Amino acid sequence: MDQPPYDQRLARILVRPLTRTPLTPNQMTSITLVLAVLGAALIAVGRAPAIHWGAGIFALARFLDHFDGELARQTGKTSRFGYFYDYVAGASSYAALFIGLGFAFREGWLGGWSIALGAVGAISAFLSMALNLEIDKREGQGTANYPGFAGFELEDGIYLIAPIMWLGWAQPFFVGAGVGAGLYGLWTVGNYLAALRRVKS
């Protein structure tokens, strides 16, 4: 996309008051990761109200994920460690979510497939992280573009986790998210292979 997605633009505005505090970008990343893992742990309980709170907390964590980068840019505190830490925290957050969902629904109609689907999502999260880091390494930091349209990125769909779970559609969401994570992993592999071809040409 030519313009940053809407959530990143909003984060750019909301983070401004934090530039006048001692909070560092890496601390912001840590807060985001802790919230995401907490949300995933509550989802793993598999029943209300824990799963509803977990979904809301996880959605909030994914929005706050934009704050660390914006805080770093606006305060001039960008760092190579922070760049890698942000990637690892993001992948760990999604992996925790899928593991939590897998545990939450292992006794439902998915049965043992729930754990397997959760594992696919978690593996895809770390595979995508590794390949996107490699793309950035080969073509320059920040070049691992994500699919998006009209101000939204594909990953913005994660915000729907809260209303979907609150409405009781958690298991269908899990199936869709697991399949989507697998497809995103395949898309990332294709993007990586395309990057290799560009380097060779």
Tokens standing for residue 63: 């929005």
| 49 preceded by a cis bond (ω within 30 of 0) | yes
CB distance 97 to 36 below 8 Å: yes
Please tell us whether the domain made up of 6-200 is placed in CATH 1.20.120.1760: yes
pLDDT, residue 140, reads 64
d(CA 144, CA 142): 6
Tokens standing for residue 124: 């895809």
CB distance 39 to 61 below 8 Å: yes
pLDDT tens, the chain, 201 aa long: 557 778 888 999 999 999 999 999 999 999 999 999 999 999 999 888 999 999 999 999 999 999 999 999 999 999 999 999 999 999 999 999 999 999 988 877 777 788 988 898 899 889 888 888 888 777 665 545 555 565 666 576 777 888 888 888 878 878 877 787 777 778 788 877 877 777 666
CB distance 33 to 1 below 8 Å: no
- pTM for the full predicted model: 0.83
